[in-house]
Amino acid sequence: MLRDMRTRFGRTHLSYLVAIAWPFTHLIVLVAIMAFVRKLAPMGGDPVVFVASGVLAYILCFYPARMMGMALEMNRSLFLFPVVRPIDVIVARGIIEFITSFIVVILLFLTAGLLGVDLFPLDTFVFSSGIVAIIYFSLSLGLFNVVMASLFRMWNLVFAFSMLGMYITSGVFILPSSMPAHIREIMWYNPLLHSIEWIRSAYYEGYGDDMLSKSYFIGMGTVFLLLGLLGERFLRGKLLTG
């Protein structure tokens, strides 16, 4: 873990703050811009809560997954030591991203509190379980990305573009229920939509009853986890050589 952090951010401990500042700044800027533009939340109440609940799910869902996809490429020199295996590097990056995600969540709540915005959910259990489920999905997707990035050199670029497509069709800034039926049917297959619906259901009573499928979201995460573990097991030599 220390080696991974030093490879990415240098030898000083303060340089790790970049890993926290980048997703946190992304989150704050998007929330501020969209809350100002929309002025009124579709569900009523504070627009910051509506936008923040959507952007938070996106940040936690895809930032760790994207960074895990580059874990082996950025730490390939470690494989000069026979004791280091690909799974060691992957797990180390996963733990770092897991910790970073929780720090971002805590900073969001602290910042909102300082600005006088109440981000405390109506249902803390639903919110907490949603955060855990999103991180589980993200780390599973990250493991899958590691395998795919070793097989296809352009995979990280492909994943970045797929993130954009999923971002647009996830309902971050709009209510999925306001879209036509045929559009909602397509949006339903986007895992990011379910992560956002899960978080927002903790803030708005009855929200997500028509779209949210927790079993689908967790099931997709499990599929990515199994594919990633199988890839690591049977393609270990490919992972080592890149």
Give pLDDT tens digits for 72-83.
887 777 777 777
The model's pTM is 0.86
**Which residue in this structure is represented by tokens 């899958």?**
144
70: CB partners within 8 A, 6+ apart: 149, 156
pLDDT at 37: 63
Reduced to 3 states (helix: H, G, I; strand: E, B; else coil), residue 88 is helix
pLDDT at 50: 83
pLDDT at 178: 80
Give pLDDT tens digits for 108-158.
889 888 888 888 899 999 999 999 999 999 999 999 999 998 888 889 889
Q: What is the DSSP annotation of 91-143?
A: HHHHHHHHHHHHHHHHHHHHHHHHTT-----S-HHHHHHHHHHHHHHHHHHHH
The total number of structural domains that make up the chain: 1
CB 157 within 8 A of CB 73: no
Containing domain of residue 58, as a range? Answer: 2-241
Reduced to 3 states (helix: H, G, I; strand: E, B; else coil), residue 57 is helix
pLDDT at 228: 92
pLDDT at 123: 93
Phi, psi of 32 (to 5 degrees): -65, -45
Please give the chain's pLDDT, 242 residues, in tens. Answer: 777 776 666 666 666 777 788 888 888 887 777 666 655 455 656 778 888 888 888 888 888 898 888 888 877 777 777 778 888 888 888 888 888 888 888 888 898 888 888 888 999 999 999 999 999 999 999 999 999 988 888 898 899 889 888 888 888 877 888 888 888 899 999 999 999 999 999 998 888 778 899 999 999 999 999 999 999 888 877 776 76
CB 198 within 8 A of CB 135: no
pLDDT at 138: 93
Residue 96 CA to residue 68 CA, distance in Å, equals 10
Q: Is the dihedral of CA 150, 153, 157, 162 positive or negative?
A: negative
